[in-house]
Amino acid sequence: MLHWKKIRSYFHQCSRQRYSVELEGHYFFWLFLVFIYSACTENFPKKEVIIYAEENNDLYQLLTGGQVACKRFDLLQDALQACSANDVLLLLAEGYPERKTELPDDFYKILSEKKIKAYIEFPDRLPSGTTGPVLPTKKERLVLTHSSTAFSLVEGQILDAGLFSYTRVDDRDAWLKGANVAGFRNAIYGLDSTDHFPILFVDDGQLIATTKLSDFRHSRYSPINVVQGVINDILHYLEIELDEKTLQWSPLVVPMYNANQKLTDDAYRKAVLKGASWYIDSRFLIHPQWQSQWRAYDTLPLPVGPPVDTSFPSGDGSLGVMEGHYSYINPDGSQPYRYWLRADCVAETAMTLSMASSLDDHNVYDSIAYHLMDFLFSSPTFKTRANQNPRSNAYGLIGWADTHPYVYYGDDNARVLLGSILAARMLDESKWNEEIVELILANFRTTGKNGFRGNSLREPSIEDASLADLMSRDLINPAPHYESWLWAIYLWLYDKTGYAPLLEKARKAISLTMEKYPDEWIWTNGIQQERARLILPLAWLLRVEDIPQHRQWLQTVCGDLLQRQVACGALREELGVGNKGKYGAPASNAAYGHNEAPVIHENGDPVADMLYTSNFAFFALNEAAAASGDSSLMAAVDALADFLVRIQTNSSHRPDLNGCWFRAFDYNAWEYYGSNADHGWGAWGTL
């Protein structure tokens, strides 16, 4: 009880005295404030934070780590009974995504009577009525529909919550809405042109989320600064204040090094060995014990399924290797596997493991690489009757995938060849030489007179024309993504044999492509990847014909590629100009997620692409530096190598995501993030 008369009397007496020291007056002023605060808090005890959640819930862990006094309960009814007047209650969706949070009939009445402020996730009812059915999502993302000073949140920013589920409710004003939207970090076309639904909103004074936002770490929500801002807004509404330092967490999957961290002397070696171990740890190598399970998913129209149980044994390469992760994130933070067997993946894995073995004398890796090479060339997996028939136009070709052995992409066959050549060399094995040479000549025989083969050839159409007709096609296809690495292969074989037509067709195709650079190039997902693809044949052309024009071509393309190399070594993605793009950024919200697509939405987005640009550039720039003797190219290679080593994944929680590379990396935020517009090989696809 405050005795205001006594307080006034005390200060009246003080005012008659002459204090010569100003500090003494300040002392009594602060003493007075402390006295007032203490008296007030006696009448208004501190609110308690009551939480219904599992102990490992990310929001609960964040609060306890921030020294917020919480009482956690395993049963909702116990949590509700523990609430006193004016307490704060958090119900954090234990049953998500299978089961809504089931609330007692009188739940909201109790909250109102006790003046409890609550945050409720995934409820079966609202203060204003019931919720609808639980609905899954595929490409929908969350969009901020308000701005907030915390973490500089701006209306229209995107939060990617992976494959989230939600309960449908009537449209209303909301803090967050779900929608299928295009854009990198912002919903570039807004929400008016797309179906959208409330996710986070206030209903009769209570904060409701129709999905689960509290497991942001386990579910790998991104970008992190937006997630932090949303969590901060939720807590602020509940009058729980955490500073920005406390609102930090270590993501489930992180880069091996930060942007400025000094690399150790053995960082490169460790990166290679960790990358090699990833194939085994993830169980991508098929084993007889679970081959039937693999086959069940591989034969689906979309060959995608759950991660392989890591308690299962890893294969030895004799049954092949799966493609990698699908670019979707499940609520538990896992990612589906692409169960496809692709010939290029088999060859490149053999190459990777044989090279890793040379660093560590790891005989197991050599053995797996050997089995993969035998699987590639000796098993019927990528064979058809036509490509095994010496009288067929398809003879010697290798099919794209086990499900599509009749489809022959030139760029895929080129990667099969490069991987096989290097693997055979590292294994010091010549048994596949005949198949390798035959595959080169099979592609060469089906290349037109200008050196272009087209994006792909298929059976039975490849049989409809004569071989002479195929070789005399007057085709010009300036699309390095699809065409150019076969030219590098032709130049490689020319260097070994001196067979002039190999050089002539490669040189002519390169010359015609450079004539059309850059405005008439047919780019696939961006112009940077096209530059990256052309550098290898340009480098090997310089090796066999070192003339000024060839040096100038190499200098031009390398220079333009490296103009977009940033300080950390990353290569910034870039879209081409005009209407020549095959798979550009989505032109509308409706187009998002239905085709191949870049991981940026517009030029300037700070993203590197490890699937289509950085990987090819790294290989090719190294060859360009060696062929040209240009020290600036080697410096660029070193910077790119450092960047790739830094961003290799590191995870103690998910073995299948420890040691790989995701397709997209935001080098400004230093996190795995990009536009996930691609229908399967998006930002979180792995390689």
pLDDT tens sequence across 137-174? 999 999 999 988 778 899 999 999 999 999 999 999 99
C-alpha distances (whole Å) from 267 to each of 250, 412, 609, 611 are 22, 30, 22, 22
Instruction: Say how far apart CA 390 and CA 227 lie, in whole Å.
Output: 59
Q: Please give the Cα distance from 52 to 80 (Å, whole number).
A: 9
State the Cα–Cα distance between residues 173 and 25, nearest whole angstrom: 51
Q: How many domains does the chain have?
A: 1
Residue 543: inside a domain: no
In a domain, 645, yes or no: no
* Cα 408 from Cα 451, distance rounded (Å): 16
Backbone angles phi, psi at 248, to 5 degrees: -125, 150
Instruction: Give 3-state DSSP helix, strand, coil % of the chain, rounded to 5.
Output: 40, 15, 45
Report whether 602 contacts 585 (CB < 8 A).
Answer: yes
Q: 208 and 202 in contact (C-beta within 8 Å)?
A: yes
Residue 212 domain flag: yes
Give the mean model confidence (pLDDT) for residues 277-297: 98
Alpha carbon distance 90, 665 (integer Å): 34
CATH number at residue 102: 3.40.50
Expressed in angstroms, the distance from the first to the final Cα of the chain is 69
Q: What is the pLDDT of residue 172?
A: 97
Q: Of 519, 491, 511, 625, which is closest to residue 562 (Cα–Cα)?
A: 625
Torsion over CA: 191, 195, 201, 204 (sign): positive
Residue 1: the pLDDT is 36
Banded pLDDT at 44 (limits 50, 70, 90): very low
pLDDT at 20: 40
Distances (CA, A) of 255 to 282, 378, 474, 505: 18, 38, 48, 43
Query: What is the pTM for the complete model shown?
Result: 0.92
Tokens of 445: 């025989």
- The whole-angstrom separation of Cα 151 and Cα 326 is 31
Q: What are phi and psi of 47, to 5 degrees?
A: -70, 150
> Residues 30-43: what's their mean pLDDT?
42
234 found inside a domain: yes
Smallest CA-to-CA distance from 319 within 226, 381, 409, 237 is with 381
The pLDDT value recorded for residue 310 is: 94
Rg from Cα positions in the chain: 31
> At 578, is the pLDDT very low, low, confident or very high (cuts 50, 70, 90)?
confident
The DSSP-derived string for 524-568 is SS-HHHHHHHHHHHHHHHHHH---HHHHHHHHHHHHHHHTTB-TT
Report which of residues 363 and 1 the model is more confident about: 363
Handedness of CA 182, 185, 189, 194 (dihedral sign): positive
Work out the average pLDDT over 176-204. Answer: 98
The stretch 120-128 carries a mean pLDDT of 98
What is the percentage of the chain residues whose pLDDT exceeds 90? Answer: 91
Better-predicted residue by pLDDT, 418 or 577: 418
| Residue from 162, 159, 141, 154 nearest 223 by CA | 159
**What would the mean pLDDT of 81-100 be, rounded to a whole number?**
97
Return phi, psi of residue 88, to 5°: -110, 135
Residue 143 lies in a domain: yes
Work out the mean pLDDT of the chain and round it to a whole number: 94
Residue 29: inside a domain, yes or no?
no
Is 83 within 8 Å of 116 (Cβ atoms)? yes
**pLDDT for the residue numbered 667:** 99
The mean pLDDT of 190-196, rounded to a whole number, is 97
How would residue 13 be classed by pLDDT, with cut points 50, 70 and 90?
very low
Query: At a CB cut-off of 8 Å and minimum separation 6, what does 595 contact?
Result: 583, 678, 679
Instruction: For the beta carbon of residue 575, count every other beta carbon within 10 angstroms.
Output: 18
CB 513 within 8 A of CB 486: no
581 domain-assigned: no
| 3 state DSSP class of 509 | helix
Contact indicator for 408, 480 with CB cutoff of 8 Å:
no
CA distance 463 to 605: 45
Task: Give me the pLDDT at residue 149, please.
Answer: 76
Report strand pairing: 141-144 vs 176-179.
Answer: antiparallel
Instruction: Give the span between the Cα atoms of 525 and 675, in whole angstroms.
Output: 12
Paired tokens of 315? 């294969």
> Token match 């060339």: residue?
377
pLDDT band at 46 (very low <50, low <70, confident <90, very high): low
Question: Token pair of 633, please?
Answer: 């190219």
What is the pLDDT, as a whole number, of residue 150? 75
Asked, for residue 458, whether it belongs to a domain, the answer is no
Domain assignment of residue 170, given as a range: 49-249
Q: Which has the closest alpha carbon to 665: 275, 144, 162, 259?
A: 259
Structure tokens at 134: 């639980």
> Cis peptide before 307, with omega less than 30 degrees from 0?
no
* Whether residue 234 has pLDDT greater than 70: yes
| Dist CA 411 CA 487 (whole Å) | 10
Model confidence band, residue 98 (pLDDT cutoffs 50, 70, 90) = very high
Task: Output the pLDDT for position 320.
Answer: 99
Tell me what pLDDT residue 152 has.
83
Cβ atoms of residues 232 and 620 within 8 Å: no
Give which of 444, 422, 416 is closest to 506, Cα–Cα: 444
